[in-house]
Structure 1
Amino acid sequence: MPIETITKAGRKRLRWTFKRVIEGERVRKAKLLPAGISAKEADELARKWEAEIYALASGTKKAVVTIGECVSAHVADKSRDWKDATKRIQILEKWGSEYAHQDAMDLHDWSKGFIGYLRASKDRNGRPKRPLTDGAIRNILAYIRASIKYAHKVGRLDADQTSRMVIPPVNNERHHYPQRKEMLELARACKHRELRAAIRIAFYSGMRRGEILRAKPTRQGYSLDTTKNGRPRIVPIHPRIAVLARRVKFTLTVKQFEEAWKRTRDAAGYPDTKFHDLRHGAASEMINGGIDLFTVGGVLGHKSVVSTQRYSHLVTDRLAAAVGRIGKKR
């Protein structure tokens, strides 16, 4: 059970290699051991892996498909179709040592331990690390879960056990709907010409930040070749932003945008307002103007009516106001 020390990405790691002839067949295996593992733990893990190899060779045990193998197959087969491929692959590679050798059919206890580690303030070597929020943890587990589901779909796994994964609940629903007054105060406080235009466009169109930065003004409206739901769409141009649509060309990077937005909201006195809230404000304005949820969802580019349901309580508020007018003199 040779254990050797190698250097990977500038750091020393332990690697296990196995070269034997079992029942007339040459078997060669090599695995990178988890970072921070002790020599004793490495020997125990190596013995376990060697026993599994002999069991497989003798036919007494079925091959284990690891999460690492599921992820590798998913990336190789499907990453070309992912709009967020670069980001997703970086995240999967970053945490690869935590799932590379984990049995993809034994997910409950592993996912609990993984969540605990991601929430921890120290890494496996006792060095300080940044604890992740439950939202970030949920995204990581969602990427891993998708890979396991794909492995089952293509026949690499006999069963899909992802329902046994523990995934922290996250409530991302926000209930802040900026009105026109807040939007104008944000725009007046903004010192950056492009961001000032983006603030108005977001409020009068309901477009997301990324959509605003890449939208192409046409006679029919803002043209978006690709959107979050994967479908192209046209967003009508409100008369109050028609001049901006003609004159403003966006050159801001995402980082520049975020930095300018933080300065703007602080200067305007709205430190907790997110740029995305302006999109919610647009939905609120449409609903309060009597527009039905289906149409609002169409303007916002929602693929499913479920996404638009977050605004259903606004419709209820408007109906309550209408009922309150019953019996009043005109």
Structure 2
Amino acid sequence: MPIEATTKNGERRYRWTFERVIEGKRVRKTKLLARGLSARQADELARKWEAKEYAKANGMEKATVTIGECVRVHVQDEGATWKDKKARGQILVKYAAEYQDQDAMDLYKWSVAFADYMRSDKDRQGRPKRPSSAKTINNTLGYIRAAIKYAHVKGLIPHDETGRMVMPKFSNERHIYEGRRTMLTIAKACKDKETRAAVRIAFYSGMRMSEILRAKVTARGFDLGTTKNGRPRIVPIHPKIAATARRIRFTITAKALKYRWTVVRARAGFDTLRFHDLRHSAASEMINAGVDLYTVGGVLGHKTAASTKRYAHLVTDKLAEAVNKIGKRE
């Protein structure tokens, strides 16, 4: 039967330990039970699990591969290569109790219930918690989906059932477009030359922050090598930043630049403006100057036209301007 155990966080939880010799094979299992279970509930759950272990060992029931097992294999094999491994690891640990014992081949009802729990303003013990946004829920389920897909590729599970997962839809489009005057106001507020240069380059190139910091200046333009979408990319250098591009050598880290950006944007009176909005503003400037969406997507490094569609309404606005000129003479 389960015994009480103390976790690393100092809380009291029940732990189930199963160690038997069945049909000549030693079977060892241990699990930390969910928070808030009474001794009676823990005992009932333990008896259920023990019955399943005997059934598996006797060939009466196929072993269930859990999402928890899929996640462990994925983290162990691939975790070191993830760029977001710290953030992803924290999320997977935070919600481990919700997926640890879930059958990886039965995902529909579980994904619906899990999403509902993340949206809830109360935890399993009825205590207040912060509801998660659709984007956060989608990202969390995405991490779990990736683990299950990996487990299928490795042969841990016979079928990939992730198509049955219900993923909340959300829109991450942000339509903030600022002009040259705003960019110059923020640039003038920069006391640090690297931050000022990064702001100007972002507006005149449409590059992401990470791309600006690693770009190599060549005769053809900013050479980004292999980009986010896996293709080589060259961004032409605008005459307004040609001298800056030749002179500046970035030594600042992305973390430091993000911090300095929050300081200078507030100093300039644009508290909610994101650095990435300068990229959107570059796209807006090109479209307003008559550049077609295909070319804008090429400058920004979009892999598909779908990524550039967020700017389609700007083209529609220009078409309206054109139509309104019908019948008018200069």
- Fold in common (TM above 0.5): yes
Contact 1:2 1:18 in 2 (8 A): no
| 3-state SS, counterpart of residue 172 of structure 2 | coil
| 3-state SS, counterpart of residue 299 of structure 1 | helix
**Alpha-carbon shift at residue 43 of structure 1 (Å):** 1.8
Query: What residue number does 1:213 align with?
Result: 213
Distance 1:224 1:93 in 2: 35
Query: Does residue 155 of structure 1 match 2:149?
Result: no
Contact 1:36 1:125 in 2 (8 A): yes
Query: What residue number does 2:45 align with?
Result: 45
Please give the per-residue CA displacement for 1:147-191, whole angstroms capped at 9, x wherever unaligned: 112223443333333233333322111112112122222222334
Query: What residue number does 1:295 align with?
Result: 295
Distance 1:74 1:244, change over 3 A: same
Distance 2:257 2:127 in 1: 33
Distance 2:307 2:168 in 1: 21
Q: How do 1:219-258 residues align onto structure 2 when only pairs under 5 Å count?
A: 219-258=219-258
Distance 1:37 1:209, change over 3 A: farther
| 3-state SS, counterpart of residue 115 of structure 2 | helix
Contact 1:6 1:15 in 2 (8 A): no
Distance 1:252 1:128, change over 3 A: farther
**Alpha-carbon shift at residue 144 of structure 1 (Å):** 0.5
Letter matched to residue 197 of structure 2: A
- The root-mean-square deviation of aligned C-alpha atoms, in Å, is 2.6
Distance 1:169 1:200 in 2: 34
Query: What residue number does 1:204 align with?
Result: 204
Distance 1:251 1:304, change over 3 A: same
Letter matched to residue 157 of structure 2: L
Distance 1:82 1:230 in 2: 16
Distance 1:299 1:139 in 2: 28
Query: What residue number does 1:105 align with?
Result: 105
**Alpha-carbon shift at residue 310 of structure 1 (Å):** 1.1
Distance 1:76 1:277, change over 3 A: same
Please give the per-residue CA displacement for 1:101-128, whole angstroms capped at 9, x wherever unaligned: 1111222333333334434555556666
Letter matched to residue 134 of structure 1: A
Find runs of 4+ consecutive structure 1 residues off by over 6 angstroms: none
Contact 2:4 2:12 in 1 (8 A): no
Distance 1:37 1:222 in 2: 59
Distance 2:243 2:40 in 1: 70
| 3-state SS, counterpart of residue 250 of structure 1 | coil
| 3-state SS, counterpart of residue 170 of structure 2 | coil
Distance 1:305 1:124 in 2: 43
Mean Cα deviation higher: 139-148 or 154-163: 154-163
Distance 1:128 1:265 in 2: 34
Distance 1:90 1:215, change over 3 A: farther
Letter matched to residue 66 of structure 1: T
Letter matched to residue 281 of structure 1: S
Identity of aligned residues (%): 62
Query: Does residue 266 of structure 1 match 2:255?
Result: no
Distance 1:170 1:293 in 2: 24
Contact 1:221 1:234 in 2 (8 A): yes
Query: What residue number does 2:92 align with?
Result: 92
Mean Cα deviation higher: 123-132 or 261-270: 123-132
Distance 1:92 1:232 in 2: 33
Letter matched to residue 5 of structure 1: A
Q: Which runs of 5+ in 1 are unaligned?
A: none
Distance 1:42 1:253 in 2: 50
Distance 2:309 2:20 in 1: 60
Query: What residue number does 2:138 align with?
Result: 138
| 3-state SS, counterpart of residue 302 of structure 2 | coil
Query: What residue number does 2:70 align with?
Result: 70
Letter matched to residue 329 of structure 2: K
Please give the per-residue CA displacement for 1:263-312, whole angstroms capped at 9, x wherever unaligned: 32233232332211110111111122222222211111111121111112
Distance 1:85 1:270 in 2: 32
Query: What residue number does 2:31 align with?
Result: 31
Distance 2:84 2:225 in 1: 16
Distance 2:241 2:276 in 1: 18
Distance 1:277 1:132, change over 3 A: same
| 3-state SS, counterpart of residue 234 of structure 2 | strand
**Alpha-carbon shift at residue 97 of structure 1 (Å):** 2.9
Q: Which runs of 5+ in 2 are unaligned?
A: none
Query: What residue number does 2:310 align with?
Result: 310
